[in-house]
Structure 1
Amino acid sequence: MEIRAKRFKELTTQELYNVLQLRSEVFVVEQDCVYQDLDGKDQKAIHIIGKKMDKVVAYTRIFKPWDYFETAAIGRVVVKEEERKHKYGHTIMLASINYLEEEWGVDKITLSAQTYLLRFYENLGFEKKGNEYLEDGIPHIKMVRTKS
């Protein structure tokens, strides 16, 4: 999988379409969750895009401190269902963490994790903070990773 980081204005129309299609495929159809994906935050984000044979198979969006949370943040973590066996979720998360820590020098990253993925994020160094809450009808928990 080839990974690229792009600002919103650097995305081609086709890349944007493919990213939004993948997010809809997983978050709306697969997870059966009706929610407003186009939340006005994509323009502030850096888009971490994983492609395989020119198809978007993994994706996250990352934010500088105060653009989403008070710390840097990772969101919209998604991997195409048939590609999950390749551990692309882990790969795209490591690329996102590396970008935040190396390019921006951040030492703290926050995310809102779907609760069933708690162990996945813990294996990447995130720790749960606070209590579980519902976000778009799905149980989530705030998680934070502090660079050691």
Structure 2
Amino acid sequence: MALPFPWVSPSRVTANARGVPNSVVFCRSVTAFLLPLPAAGFVKSPMSETKLTGDAFELYCDVVGNPTPEIQWWYLWDGARKRRVTINTAYGANGVSVLRVTRLTLEDSGTYECRASNDPRRNDLRQNPSITWIRAQATISVLQSESGPQ
């Protein structure tokens, strides 16, 4: 009989006439092993899109882990573009973040990256970032709309 928790085992299992377990008695003492924290993992990662100038796009990043992972968005942009960018993030059982860019221009084309980590050493400059952060990327292609430059 497989159990969902590897460190708990039944001390006695009783079965009916067909051999189907009908009760499980667990031992009172449980040995717990110190396991490494579950690594962060993506539930939903950003998806690549093609948009027209003047449009908007949203990228979603949903990450699980224990403790809840920190989420960061990465892209090189100038200060003017920042006024068209909003990031909403909520932390609970999951970390969920939405990046929104409005009034798209051709310069908004590029690769956007969601990074997440629940490693307590994630911001330690002596650590290799590729070890402590997971990454998901989306490519946004912005095409000129027929109505001309926006």
Q: TM-score, normalised by structure 1?
A: 0.26
Q: Return the structure number with greater helix share.
A: 1
Q: TM-score, normalised by structure 2?
A: 0.26
Higher relative contact order (CA 8 A, sep 6+): 2
In proportion to residue count, which structure has more strand? 2
